[in-house]
Chain A
Amino acid sequence: MAILEIKNVSKFFGGLAANSDVSFEMTEGMIMGLIGPNGAGKTTLFNCITGYYPPSKGEVIFDGKKMNGLQPDAVCKLGMARTWQKVRPLAKMTLLDNVMVGALCRTNSLKVAREMAMEQIKVVRMEHRANFLAGGLPIGERKKLEVARVLATQPKLLLLDEVMGGLNPAESDEIIQLILDIRKLGITQMVIEHDMKAIMRISDRIVVLNSGEKLAEGMPDEIVKNPEVVAAYLGSE
């Protein structure tokens, strides 16, 4: 059964179509790669799915429920969580407190939240940083903080917006391993990424956006051979 169905989603800003008529489905447990040149509408689509923008047209159906018009907090409670392209740590709180804020979405007890948070901090392997202020962590660790924090909200579907952006190759490898670990936990993931090698390695399927429209969808090896995709990335002549 499809965990997420995107049906003909369009988003207009004034006369500009940031997304037009995008449709695809995700099955449970898969990793979906979402790629496209800059300005293709990837983050806009994330925002439409997670409630930051209401789609101008079309439907987002998650776990059999229509999501249009729901606020981000309600979307999160239903089990769909996202990270941000530009990291948003709660700077004056510790790593543990950051992750606890995520966990408090599922419990009212600080004690339970602390246990849940420590579990997720172990998943991202940052136990040694638990009591450090989030604002003082380097970028690679802030990205992992974001992942631990959304994991603590116990999502069924996780949307990762460029979690490898700005990281060095060693840090990127760590994140790739982390995404594969999260798959083992049974969490479905949609990943926006510019690093082609990485996205080809981890994705089960890939959707390519270009100028707001879906250009192609398929297995990674189909996508690399698709002449339209190559043209969109390298320019056609």
Chain B
Amino acid sequence: MKPTNPLHSQRGASTVRVSAGIAVIAALFAFPQFVESPYILHMMILFFLSTLMGQSWNIIGGYTGQYSVGHAAYFGTGAYTTLILLTTKEIAPWYGMWVGIAASVVLALIIGSICFRLRGPYFVLASIAVAEIVRCTALNLTNLTKGAEGILVVDIPAFKIGETIITDFSSKVPYYYIALVLALVIIGVTWLVQHSKLGYYFQAIREDQDAAHSLGINLTIWKNSALVISAAFTSLAGSFYAIFVKFIDPSTVLPLDLSVQIVLISIIGGIGTIFGPVIGALVLVPLSEALRSNVITEGLIKIGLVSEESGVGIFLKEHLAHAHVLIYGILVVVVILFMPEGVLGYFRKMTTKKKGGEA
């Protein structure tokens, strides 16, 4: 048995941490001044977006222990609401996203009132089912969503405050800053949750619902609060995705794949921690990009492990890019077997061992 929070040396460590954090944030804000490559900016934007998605899920899944595998429903609701309002009513996305959040919150309360009667694996299955219902609805409600054809926007209206144009979205830089701010906001929100009554109640529910109930915690109210916070930020991620990619259809913003991916960001990084989803995004975004662009095969050929003309080389070149789901699967198995508390939890354990047992 080891104490988990020795009071000594905490203050010193936290000052170092705060200054390191400020330095990292400053560097991220300065980043586009030095790096102009749209490709790298694009990667960074995906990293921030993934952080936002993973962290949103972390609040309901990691802290409250309710493994929703239907978060694509909120992502899609945010994306669709924003683009439908933009294309049909010419409402700018920065107003549309609030409508999207409101719609997702309503959806979350409906889903919560149905699914939270169930516990454990039954809750997981119900959350998948409800998200699939939302996807099928979007697919068939063609006069609103254009069904499988999807919605395409050409121009995003310039962002104005009064008459001053802040940005016209002609490059990746404004997206970079929006995504960065969103990622920082969700990390801040998670910090606030963890350091308030909410965090204590969410974690109590995760650890033992019956015990939590007997200690005066109204399970319906608190589980739904967690889901509402989570859904609101997932919806925001959807709205951002929609104006960033400018094209959505049910198979990109509402599929089960996406729900699973949102869960993976958090699980791979380490659930129930503030920086777990950040680490998860840091692992998953480059990995999926490497798979997509076939960097791995090229690397293997370069080191000389596989010859380009050999059967294996040709096979890898043709199929590895399509095998990202397989690689994801292997990654999840590895994480669950060897790092059940995620990458962050694993490294924490390693460092504690070195320091002689104190966390």
Shortest CB-to-CB span from B221 to chain A, Å, is 9
| Residues from chain B with Cβ under 8 Å of A133 in the complex | 4
A74 neighbours in B (Cβ, 8 Å): 218
Taking the closest CB of chain A, its distance from the CB of B126, in whole angstroms, is 22
Chain B residue contacts of A89, Cβ below 8 A: 207-208, 211
Q: Are B215 and A91 in contact (CB under 8 A)?
A: no
Task: Report B205-221 CB contacts with A as 1/0, cut-off 8 Å.
Answer: 01110111111111100
B214 touches A82 (CB 8 A): yes
CA distance A131 to B196 in the complex (A): 18
**A interface SS class:** mixed
Query: In chain B, what residue has the closest Cβ to A81?
Result: B214
A72-B214, A76-B215, A110-B197 in contact; A93/B3 too (CB < 8 A)? no
- CB of B204 closer than 8 Å to a CB of A: yes
CB contacts under 8 Å to B, within A205-220, are none
**B354, CB-defined interface residue at 8 Å:** no
Interface string of A58-90 (1 = CB under 8 A from B): 000000000000011110110001101000111
Chain A CB within 8 A of B117 CB:
no
A102 CB, min distance to chain B CBs, angstroms: 5
| A26 CB within 8 Å of chain B | no
> Is A149 part of the binding interface, using a Cβ–Cβ cutoff of 8 Å?
yes
Q: Which residues of A contact B14 (CB under 8 A)?
A: none
* Cβ-defined contact, A73 with B207, below 8 A: no
> In the bound complex, what is the Cα–Cα distance between A117 and B22 (angstroms)?
34
Q: How far is the CA of A77 from the CA of B5 in the complex (A)?
A: 30
Asked if residues A92 and B207 are in contact (CB atoms below 8 Å), the reply is yes
Cα separation A34 to B45 with both chains bound (whole Å): 63
Question: A73 to chain B: which residues have CB within 8 Å?
Answer: 213-219
Q: Are B197 and A88 in contact (CB under 8 A)?
A: no
Tell me if B6 is interfacial: C-beta within 8 Å of chain A: yes
Q: Are A71 and B213 in contact (CB under 8 A)?
A: yes
Q: Which residue, A74, A77, A102, has most C-beta atoms of chain B within 10 A?
A: A102
Q: By the criterion CB–CB under 8 Å, are B3 and A92 in contact?
A: no
Q: How far is the CA of A131 from the CA of B7 in the complex (A)?
A: 9
CB contacts (< 8 Å) of B3 on chain A: these are 131-132
Query: Which residue on chain B has the smallest CB distance to residue A83?
Result: B214
Residues of B within 8 A of A104 (CB): 197, 200-201, 216
Interface size on B, residues (CB 8 A): 28
Residues of A within 8 A of B197 (CB): 104, 108, 110, 113
Q: Is B160 on the interface with A (CB-CB < 8 A)?
A: no
A101 CA / B201 CA spacing, docked (Å):
7
Chain B residues, CB < 8 A from A52 = 210
* Residue from B196, B197, B201, B211 with most neighbouring chain A CB atoms (10 Å): B211
Q: Does A90 lie within 8 Å of B208, measured CB to CB?
A: yes
Which chain B residues border A202 with CB–CB below 8 Å?
none
CB neighbours of A91 from chain B (8 A):
207
Chain B neighbourhood of A186, CB < 8 A:
none
Asked if A120 lies at the interface with its beta carbon under 8 angstroms from chain B, I say no
Interface residues on A, range: 35 or more
Q: Is the CB of B203 closer than 8 A to any CB of chain A?
A: yes
CA distance A75 to B319 in the complex (A): 61
A94 to B200, CA, bound (A): 11
- Per-position binary interface string of chain A over residues 96-129, scored 1 when its CB falls under 8 Å from any chain B CB and 0 otherwise: 0100111011001010010000000000000000
Given A72-B214, A84-B211, A132-B1: A90 touches B196 (CB 8 Å cut-off):
no
Instruction: Look across to chain B and name the residue whose beta carbon is closest to the beta carbon of A96.
Output: B5
Contact assessment for B207 and A90 in the assembled complex, using a CB-CB cutoff below 8 Å: yes
- Kindly provide the distance from the CB of B207 to the nearest chain A CB, expressed in whole angstroms: 4
B195 at interface by CB-CB < 8 Å? yes
B204 touching A90, Cβ below 8 Å: yes
Chain B residues near A131 (CB-CB < 8 A)? 3-7
**What A residues does B196 contact at CB under 8 A?**
110
Which of chain B's residues have a CB closer than 8 A to the CB of A82?
214
By the criterion CB–CB under 8 Å, are A132 and B216 in contact?
A: no
A150 within 8 Å of B (CB atoms) = yes
A136/B200 in contact, CB under 8 A: no
Interface contact B215-A100, CB-CB below 8 Å: no
Could you say which residues of chain A place their CB within 8 Å of the CB of B207? 89-93
Please report B residues at the A interface, Cβ cutoff 8 Å: 1-7, 195-197, 200-201, 203-204, 206-208, 210-219, 272
Of all A-B residue pairs in the complex, the 4 with the closest CB atoms, nearest first, are A105-B216, A90-B207, A88-B211, A76-B216
Additional 15 contacts, C-beta under 8 A, given A50-B214, A72-B213, A88-B211: A73-B216, A73-B217, A73-B219, A74-B218, A77-B216, A90-B204, A90-B211, A91-B207, A94-B5, A97-B200, A97-B203, A102-B215, A102-B216, A105-B217, A132-B2
- For this complex, 14 residue pairs linking A to B, each with C-beta atoms less than 8 Å apart, are A72-B214, A73-B214, A73-B217, A84-B210, A92-B203, A92-B207, A94-B4, A97-B203, A101-B204, A101-B215, A104-B201, A131-B7, A137-B1, A153-B216
